[in-house]
């Protein structure tokens, strides 16, 4: 099968009507696919063969979990295409250094995740998987479908053959390097006039600033947020400035995990991945996802525990999809802050969303913020304000909101220090709420 035909087939599968009328039908279909997939991987991956021992494929939910550190440690025997970790790292590193993202090994695309902690992951994607990814992405994200002309602007830290593969027929694609100056990117946008922007929220905010200042006039038909958590503050600003719904993609080294529907609701891509929910706070529907990707064989991802906190939506989406609706991607588990319980002194977890909402509630003049809890427990808060707001007053109001949060949780608020806001988009991902250990980012 030619790669164009494969793309169209996967586009049709992702876009077209499946036979699942209920959640139960979807889960039965997933079960069959996963068991078949496990048999294939057991035959081809020495790591998984040993990792699963004598457990039967039908008992796949009992398989021991893996995570990024286990995957990287056993990379050479986990993947099924015979590519070593050293070889993959060398190629991906050279590509980033030269800003040339075309090379591949044995027809397999190699890429690096934009790890926030220096603990970066490698992803391998075969030509066949690349075509499947392309067809699925186009089906879920393109506003006008495959046959309508579209011009896509991808803003990313590193390009990849995977992203370039989106360019097909009437679809044009241009890669915008986040390491370039914003003025340069804005000029290119004005020339290119894309109909779709795909960018991290931190870059979208800079484009919004350029638009408000009159330097950028080209506004696309669709804006898609990727790579960073879409904070409620950023969503609100972007939707006000551009007058449209900001869509999201939930994509990482471990796969294409979610995308928004026409209503702007993020749904898990349960037609290509199975996601178990490890609930960490059932009352608020917060869970850690455990992924089994039954569509990918080069670098199998089976019962892989992500380090993310997701909040499941309380109600089904109006679009009628049987796929799980997500209210919010909250951030990393490691970015849960800790306060001291008022009476016992024990450490109480404080989810990033609690902190976000407290800061935003303090003042409508907050344009940007960051909250970083240091290794000693103290919290550094940095703000950037708009309008004629007085920094001292807003800082007082933020401290007051954080104290209210502490009281609500029956906790003592850690020491709060206000420091200048210094974050600039580019090579580092924006984390509005972050926890550090001994001064080092997780």
314-344 pLDDT, tens digit per residue, is 999 998 889 999 999 988 888 999 999 998 9
Task: Give the phi and the psi of residue 173 in degrees, each rounded to 5.
Answer: -140, 135
Cα dihedral 193→196→198→201 (10° resolution): 90
Question: Do the domains 336-441 and 145-252 match in fold?
Answer: no
For the chain, which residues make up each domain, given as ranges?
1-126+133-142+268-326, 145-252, 336-441
**pLDDT category, 116, cuts 50, 70, 90?**
very low
Edge to edge, the sheet with strand 108-112 lists 104-105, 108-112, 122-125
Which token pair is 370? Answer: 């960051």
Query: Where do we find the tokens 């080069």?
Result: 298
pLDDT tens digits along 393-416? 999 999 999 999 999 999 999 999
Across the range 290-308, mean pLDDT stands at 95
Across the range 103-116, mean pLDDT stands at 70
Q: Which region, left, alpha or beta, applies to residue 73 given φ > 0 means left and ψ of -120 to 50 means alpha?
A: alpha
pLDDT tens digits along 217-248? 989 999 999 888 899 999 999 999 999 999 99
Would the pLDDT of 93 be above 80? no
Across the range 413-433, mean pLDDT stands at 88
Look at residue 438 in the predicted model and tell me its pLDDT: 58
More confident residue, 266 or 424: 266
Cα 166 from Cα 169, distance rounded (Å): 10
From residue 52, how far is each of 29, 115, 167 by CA, in Å?
A: 23, 28, 39
135-149, 189-203, 420-434: the lowest-pLDDT one:
135-149
Report the topology of domain 145-252: Rossmann fold (3.40.50)
Look at residue 138 in the predicted model and tell me its pLDDT: 80
Look at residue 294 in the predicted model and tell me its pLDDT: 94
Look at residue 158 in the predicted model and tell me its pLDDT: 57
Would the pLDDT of 442 be above 50? no
Q: What percent of the chain has pLDDT over 90?
A: 59
From residue 238, how far is each of 174, 195, 225, 246, 370 by CA, in Å?
A: 22, 16, 10, 7, 18
Report the topology of domain 336-441: GMP Synthetase; Chain A, domain 3 (3.30.300)
Which token pair is 434? Answer: 């972050």
Would the pLDDT of 371 be above 70? yes
Cβ partners under 8 Å of residue 323, min gap 6: 26, 267, 268, 269, 270, 271
């Amino acid at each position: 099968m030619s790669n164009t035909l494969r793309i169209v087939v996967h586009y049709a599968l992702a876009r077209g009507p499946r036979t699942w009328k209920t959640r139960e039908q979807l889960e039965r279909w997933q079960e069959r696919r996963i068991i078949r997939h496990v048999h294939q991987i057991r035959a081809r991956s020495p790591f998984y063969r040993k990792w699963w021992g004598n457990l039967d494929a039908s008992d796949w939910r009992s398989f021991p979990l893996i995570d990024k550190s286990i995957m990287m440690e056993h990379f050479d025997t986990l993947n099924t295409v015979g590519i070593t970790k050293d070889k993959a790292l060398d190629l991906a590193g050279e590509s980033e250094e030269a800003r040339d993202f075309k090379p591949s090994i044995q027809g397999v695309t190699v890429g690096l995740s934009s790890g926030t902690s220096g603990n970066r992951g490698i992803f391998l994607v075969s030509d066949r998987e690349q075509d499947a990814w392309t067809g699925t992405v186009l089906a879920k994200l393109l506003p006008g479908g495959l046959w309508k002309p579209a011009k896509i602007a991808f803003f990313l830290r590193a390009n990849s053959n995977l992203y370039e593969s989106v360019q097909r027929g009437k679809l044009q694609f241009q890669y915008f390097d986040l390491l370039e100056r914003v003025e340069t990117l804005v000029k290119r946008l004005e020339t290119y006039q894309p109909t779709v922007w795909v960018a991290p929220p931190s870059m979208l905010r800079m484009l919004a600033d350029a638009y408000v200042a009159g330097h950028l006039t080209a506004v696309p038909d669709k804006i898609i947020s990727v790579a960073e958590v879409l904070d409620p503050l950023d969503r609100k600003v972007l939707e006000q400035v551009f007058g449209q719904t900001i869509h999201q993609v939930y994509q990482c080294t471990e796969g294409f995990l979610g995308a928004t529907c026409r209503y702007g609701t993020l749904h898990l891509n349960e037609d290509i991945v199975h996601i178990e929910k490890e609930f960490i706070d059932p009352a608020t529907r917060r869970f850690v996802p455990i992924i089994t990707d039954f569509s990918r064989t080069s670098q199998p991802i089976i019962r892989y525990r992500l380090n993310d906190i997701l909040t499941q939506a309380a109600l089904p989406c109006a679009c009628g999809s049987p796929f799980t609706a997500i209210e919010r991607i909250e951030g990393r588990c490691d970015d849960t802050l800790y306060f001291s319980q008022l009476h016992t002194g024990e450490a109480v977890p404080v989810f990033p969303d609690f902190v976000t909402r407290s800061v935003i509630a303090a003042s409508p003049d907050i344009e940007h913020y960051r909250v970083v809890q240091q290794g000693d427990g103290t919290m550094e808060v940095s703000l950037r304000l708009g309008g004629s707001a007085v920094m001292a007053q807003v800082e007082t109001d933020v401290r007051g909101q954080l104290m209210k949060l502490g009281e609500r949780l029956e906790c003592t608020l850690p020491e709060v220090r206000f420091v200048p806001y210094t974050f600039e988009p580019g090579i580092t991902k924006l984390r509005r709420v972050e926890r550090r250990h001994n001064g080092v980012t997780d």
